[in-house]
A and B are shown apart, each in its own frame.
Chain A
Amino acid sequence: MLNNQGRPTQPVEVAAPHVRKTFTGHRALAMEEALIFEVGRAEVTGVDVDDAGEFTPRLGKLERTTPIDLPGLSEPETMRHYVRLSQKNYAIDLGLYPLGSCTMKHNPRLNERMARLPGFGDIHPMQPVSTVQGALELIDTLASWLTEMTGASAVAMSPKAGAHGEACGMMAIKAALEARGEGAQRRVVLVPESAHGTNPATAALIGYDVRPIPAREDGTVSVEAVQAALGPEVAALMLTNPNTCGLFEPEVVAIAQAVHAAGAFFYCDGANFNAIVGKVRPMDLGVDAMHINLHKTFSTPHGGGGPGAGPVVLSDALAPFAPVPFIRKDGQKFTLVEHTQGTQSFGRMTAFHGQMGMFVRAMSYMLSHGGDGIRQASEDAVLNANYIRVCLSDVMSAPFGDKPCMHEALFDDRWLKNTGVTTLDFAKAMIDEGYHPMTMYFPLVVHGAMLIEPTESESKASIDLFIMALRDLAFSVQKGETERFSGAPYYAPRRRLDETRAARSPVLRWTKPKPIAAANQIAAE
């Protein structure tokens, strides 16, 4: 079964190459690992805690009466459990991780060390402002780098991730429209069909109706399409630039002008800012608000899905509506504005001051690169992507011809037509070759999309080997060696997993297995 993007929805039965079974299930360094609930014991603990001694509790009648049901492991057992789990993960430090749109670049370890300085890692968000002047200085410095690189007049630092930043920017827009008396009138947000799912979801989250804008044949958005959708009911356009097809929007300046002429705001999704840092300042293009994914562009680690950080740069028109808290500099002293009274701020995004741990890492990255290195990093990312695009263009199909891309190269699945191999199969075969697959089936406007983002962190030798591996796979497709694909991956910790089964009868937590007698009885019923 294929979905409308040509994506298979269930694994195909293909036998694994014959492998001798082992008694333990381990295969040398490839260890099987049970759940902590299966090996841990409630009475075991890996932390020595002092005895509290005698005292009179002050819990009222609310002392816990129920067991918690949490297994414990000693420290050696804990180390082994998580080290074994870690070895089932792919990682940037293991190999090329070409996930388009996700920007899996190297995570410098200096940044980790800096974030763990007690002066940053061990300070409390609510301790007196006089005792955290260095922390406020760091945030203020980071903010000034972000505004310099984007051409913005202000930046809201507190959003916790990209989508949270989107919400922050759109809330500032809504507040600005309310202040102008147009809040009730402007109910619609324009979102191109190629946008990240977070864009329409964000617009809907804060109460807007979403109006889609079609993409052109060449993967970009035309000023005519935007103009046709604009009207007095439109609050904003949310546009990703460089866009999700890896292309710089050539008409972005005219689009911004059209949006402003219609009295609306231009929100830019900055997920792909890493392609243009030091090359173009987004605010020069007419952007009013843009979030910056510090975990993409400025290399804070992705950590298996988070945490991120999503500061939002704002234009003059939106800056007064930025959320609290924000920093003010009073001579050499920093102060914090934590309440909206006496400001036009729309309110608050999160409990405290944002992702300080990520701010330190991003600052460390920026200082290391400098203005010159940041620009070089963008150029290298774009160079690597174009090199891959050109070196694969004779064996794979690119939806938009031989136009240069920005930091990611997009292919579609026309070249796989009638081969019996899908984009998913091709991606899974890459796993056997030691690569993380590229982003697949996104953007939605391209059928069977494969979006390859190498980043600037790869050497030429690494990229050349990657290209050769993909060419070898492509030749295999041409030769009809479908088994290499349909059963892949063969050599990963797991073969293809049944996602349909996971969703149809969800098992989302461990529960104690029923005793065998009871289980038999249930089976008999």
Chain B
Amino acid sequence: MRQENSFATKEITLRYLPLTPDDRADMLARIGAENINALFAAVPADKLLQAPPDLPRHKSEMEVERMLSRMASRNVSAGSVPFFVGAGAYKHHVPASVDHLIQRSEFLTSYTPYQPEISQGTLQMLFEFQTQVANLTGMEVANASMYDGSTGCGEAALMAHRITRRRKAVLSGGLHPHYADVVRSLSQMTGDSVVSMPADARASEDLLAQIDDSVSCVIVQSPDVFGNLRDLKPIADACHAKGALLIAVFTEVVSLGLVEPPGAMGADIVVGEGQSIGNGLIFGGPYVGLFATKQKYLRQMPGRIAGETVDAEGKRGWVLTLSTREQHIRREKATSNICTNSGLCALAFSIHMTLLGETGLRRLARLNHANAVKLADALTAAGVDVVNETFFNEFTVRVKGDAAALVERMAAQGVLGGVPASRLLPHAGVDDLLIIASTEVNTDEDRAALVAALKQ
């Protein structure tokens, strides 16, 4: 018995669909349905589409590969040119073993570890990840990741509001403008207030003057979006004197291999972008948000957390825990609406960090800093005005004329030379500033090409 399928063309065979036409007929018969549309009977008849959507028909692997490769070839990949673009995402070398391991079926094609007995791989990895993040940031506890640094930053502000029962955030002028936008967009919805300091390329703002009894948190990034390192200690002290919290942000996690961690300078919540370790640029995502805080604020922290326990035989194992903070238990009283996190990106981070270890991370951080110093020195020698006094692997230069136009000219010559500050901050009077990142991937030839391009 062969049932007529639901659209005029014959049933298709497709490499991803195991059911055969005979299977479908047998199953419909067992169900007692006349045809497939009998199972869609609850759909109003006039809303049920009579034909497939007006889209191209299915394609072979080869055809799809050809189409997408054509699109990909229209982009200039970072690895193919002298590359100095940063401002929140960084080009680093990721060891081959990282990408191999994250493509293991058992990591790639598993779900959130809600059944811990058959998810110990993911859970143990998350526990290791949390420990790495806590140790790196100098904090007591970390969660199992956020979507990215910017959404973590938005969540951190809300968390500070819950803890302090105040509703005003002060944003440093060195905070990545897109992170600031995320915080402002959320605050606009909740009616919380935000004080945004003006763009601050020289790290000369007076944040302390902004801190009073009404402030819930101060959000400071270091290295900041212009590359400056910020001493967080005085800001933390001023916050604590007024009952406010310091939220420390970083977008370049490699800096923590060489720079004093925010936890050691008194930060209450630390959020950052972990993309640099284990993860590619991928045009902005998926990335991995790192989120750490003090033990006393644990129950206000958003996101999943893995914790240690024992099984019925007393063997050590891990589970997702403290879920009474989370939306699937607490619904509208949850600390956040977050559900999905960045599990696989966290895995990539954790594997790369395990490969590096303390020794490798310190060396990598030192090499990044050295490359940036060499570049800054070469630019200074060529008469280019380097704005920063301090930096890690990214700094800002003042160019003659419009930096955005300059970046386009350099791109036409095959050099991706940085991010014009005006792209992040239009109408802020920063049209002549160019933000330049230099990591371990840059060679002497790359630096020479950039210096030559900037000298013109």
Say yes or no: A66 contacts B185, CB within 8 Å: no
Say yes or no: A204 contacts B332, CB within 8 Å: yes
Which of A110, A493, A502 has the most C-beta atoms of chain B within 10 angstroms of its own C-beta?
A: A502
Q: Tell me which of B121-129, B212-220, B240-248, B447-455 binds A.
A: B121-129
* Interface 1/0 per residue, B71-83 and A, CB below 8 Å: 1111111111001
Taking CB atoms, residues of chain A closer than 8 Å to B282 are 115, 120-123, 356-357
A363 CA / B306 CA spacing, docked (Å): 33
Say yes or no: B150 contacts A37, CB within 8 Å: no
Say yes or no: B369 contacts A57, CB within 8 Å: yes
Interface size (A, Cβ < 8 Å)? 213
Say yes or no: B17 contacts A376, CB within 8 Å: yes
Asked if A326 is an interface residue, CB under 8 A from chain B, the answer is: no
Instruction: List the 6 closest pairs (A to B, CB-CB), nearest first.
Output: A72-B357, A352-B284, A119-B72, A303-B344, A134-B74, A347-B185
Q: Do A58 and B376 form a contact, CB below 8 Å, given A42-B357, A347-B188, A510-B127?
A: yes
Say yes or no: A114 contacts B64, CB within 8 Å: yes
14 interchain pairs (CB within 8 A)?
A58-B388, A89-B121, A120-B282, A126-B419, A197-B329, A197-B330, A201-B332, A352-B283, A358-B285, A376-B14, A404-B38, A436-B118, A489-B117, A506-B307
* Interface 1/0 per residue, B42-61 and A, CB below 8 Å: 11100111001111111101
A84's closest neighbor in chain B, by CB? Answer: B121
Say yes or no: B367 contacts A307, CB within 8 Å: no
Q: Tell me which of A223-231, A312-320, A381-389 binds B.
A: A381-389
Say yes or no: B311 contacts A58, CB within 8 Å: no
Say yes or no: A493 contacts B120, CB within 8 Å: yes
B23 to chain A, nearest CB (A): 4
Say yes or no: A404 contacts B33, CB within 8 Å: yes
A149's closest neighbor in chain B, by CB? Answer: B53
Contact partner, A72, options B40, B61, B305, B354, Cβ 8 Å: B354
* Interface 1/0 per residue, A41-66 and B, CB below 8 Å: 11111110111110111111111111
B5-41 with Cβ < 8 A to chain A: 5-7, 9, 11-12, 14-20, 23-24, 26-28, 30-33, 36, 38-41
A144's closest neighbor in chain B, by CB? Answer: B55
- Given A128-B407, A132-B75, 12 more A-B residue pairs with CB atoms under 8 Å apart are A115-B282, A127-B85, A134-B74, A167-B337, A250-B44, A304-B107, A305-B304, A306-B145, A307-B341, A369-B58, A373-B16, A489-B118
B229's closest neighbor in chain A, by CB? Answer: A62
A41 CA / B358 CA spacing, docked (Å): 9
Taking CB atoms, residues of chain B closer than 8 Å to A420 are none
Asked if A408 is an interface residue, CB under 8 A from chain B, the answer is: no
Asked if A509 is an interface residue, CB under 8 A from chain B, the answer is: yes
Q: Do A351 and B313 form a contact, CB below 8 Å, given A99-B111, A117-B68, A248-B40?
A: no
Say yes or no: B27 contacts A387, CB within 8 Å: yes
Taking CB atoms, residues of chain B closer than 8 Å to A281 are 47, 49, 53
Asked if B138 is an interface residue, CB under 8 A from chain A, the answer is: yes
Say yes or no: B128 contacts A348, CB within 8 Å: no
Contact partner, B120, options A89, A356, A427, Cβ 8 Å: A89
Taking CB atoms, residues of chain A closer than 8 Å to B397 are none
A469 to chain B, nearest CB (A): 16
Q: Tell me which of A155-163, A411-419, A517-525 binds B.
A: A155-163
Taking CB atoms, residues of chain B closer than 8 Å to A509 are 127, 130-131, 134-135, 140-142
Say yes or no: A11 contacts B312, CB within 8 Å: yes
Say yes or no: B104 contacts A107, CB within 8 Å: no
Say yes or no: A121 contacts B358, CB within 8 Å: no
Say yes or no: A37 contacts B128, CB within 8 Å: yes
Taking CB atoms, residues of chain B closer than 8 Å to A119 are 69, 71-75, 77
A287 CA / B427 CA spacing, docked (Å): 38
Q: Do A382 and B109 form a contact, CB below 8 Å, given A60-B389, A304-B122, A353-B284?
A: no
A459 CA / B17 CA spacing, docked (Å): 8
Asked if B87 is an interface residue, CB under 8 A from chain A, the answer is: yes
Contact partner, B89, options A70, A352, A508, Cβ 8 Å: A352
Say yes or no: A278 contacts B185, CB within 8 Å: no
Contact partner, A350, options B127, B136, B285, B322, Cβ 8 Å: B285
Say yes or no: A50 contacts B440, CB within 8 Å: yes
Taking CB atoms, residues of chain A closer than 8 Å to B91 are 122, 124
B36's closest neighbor in chain A, by CB? Answer: A379
Asked if A171 is an interface residue, CB under 8 A from chain B, the answer is: yes
Taking CB atoms, residues of chain A closer than 8 Å to B40 are 248, 276, 279-280, 382
Asked if B274 is an interface residue, CB under 8 A from chain A, the answer is: no
Asked if B432 is an interface residue, CB under 8 A from chain A, the answer is: no
B6's closest neighbor in chain A, by CB? Answer: A379
B328's closest neighbor in chain A, by CB? Answer: A197
A155-201 with Cβ < 8 A to chain B: 160-164, 166-167, 171, 174, 191, 196-198, 200-201
B292's closest neighbor in chain A, by CB? Answer: A509
B292 to chain A, nearest CB (A): 10
B308's closest neighbor in chain A, by CB? Answer: A507
Asked if A203 is an interface residue, CB under 8 A from chain B, the answer is: yes
Say yes or no: A372 contacts B131, CB within 8 Å: no
Taking CB atoms, residues of chain A closer than 8 Å to B26 are 460
B55's closest neighbor in chain A, by CB? Answer: A371
Asked if A28 is an interface residue, CB under 8 A from chain B, the answer is: no
A387 CA / B436 CA spacing, docked (Å): 59
Say yes or no: B147 contacts A161, CB within 8 Å: yes
A14 CA / B356 CA spacing, docked (Å): 43
A434 to chain B, nearest CB (A): 10
A380 CA / B39 CA spacing, docked (Å): 11
Asked if A367 is an interface residue, CB under 8 A from chain B, the answer is: yes
Say yes or no: A387 contacts B147, CB within 8 Å: no
* Interface 1/0 per residue, B305-330 and A, CB below 8 Å: 11111111101011101111011111
A121 to chain B, nearest CB (A): 5
A382 to chain B, nearest CB (A): 5
A68 CA / B255 CA spacing, docked (Å): 12
Taking CB atoms, residues of chain B closer than 8 Å to A4 are none
Asked if B392 is an interface residue, CB under 8 A from chain A, the answer is: yes
Taking CB atoms, residues of chain B closer than 8 Å to A115 are 282
Q: Do A198 and B327 form a contact, CB below 8 Å, given A62-B229, A301-B108?
A: yes
Say yes or no: B370 contacts A52, CB within 8 Å: yes
A56 CA / B377 CA spacing, docked (Å): 10
A394 CA / B385 CA spacing, docked (Å): 80
Say yes or no: A508 contacts B305, CB within 8 Å: yes
Say yes or no: B360 contacts A88, CB within 8 Å: no
Q: Do A354 and B119 form a contact, CB below 8 Å, given A367-B64, A404-B38?
A: no
A386 CA / B30 CA spacing, docked (Å): 10
Taking CB atoms, residues of chain A closer than 8 Å to B168 are none
Say yes or no: A205 contacts B337, CB within 8 Å: yes
Taking CB atoms, residues of chain B closer than 8 Å to A64 are 256-261
A243 CA / B166 CA spacing, docked (Å): 38
Asked if B186 is an interface residue, CB under 8 A from chain A, the answer is: yes
Say yes or no: A66 contacts B264, CB within 8 Å: yes
Say yes or no: A496 contacts B312, CB within 8 Å: yes
Asked if A130 is an interface residue, CB under 8 A from chain B, the answer is: yes
Asked if B361 is an interface residue, CB under 8 A from chain A, the answer is: yes
Taking CB atoms, residues of chain B closer than 8 Å to A132 are 75-76, 283
Q: Tell me which of A90-98, A258-266, A474-482 binds B.
A: A90-98
Asked if B174 is an interface residue, CB under 8 A from chain A, the answer is: no
B410's closest neighbor in chain A, by CB? Answer: A128
Asked if B364 is an interface residue, CB under 8 A from chain A, the answer is: yes
Say yes or no: B124 contacts A33, CB within 8 Å: yes
Q: Do A371 and B56 form a contact, CB below 8 Å, given A46-B95, A61-B231?
A: yes
A88 CA / B41 CA spacing, docked (Å): 42
Taking CB atoms, residues of chain B closer than 8 Å to A442 are 328
A302 to chain B, nearest CB (A): 5
A485 to chain B, nearest CB (A): 13
A85 CA / B113 CA spacing, docked (Å): 13
A210-224 with Cβ < 8 A to chain B: 210
Say yes or no: B41 contacts A302, CB within 8 Å: no
Contact partner, B16, options A301, A363, A368, Cβ 8 Å: A368
Say yes or no: B360 contacts A123, CB within 8 Å: no
A351 CA / B341 CA spacing, docked (Å): 16
* Interface 1/0 per residue, A478-507 and B, CB below 8 Å: 000000000101001111111101110011
B130's closest neighbor in chain A, by CB? Answer: A509
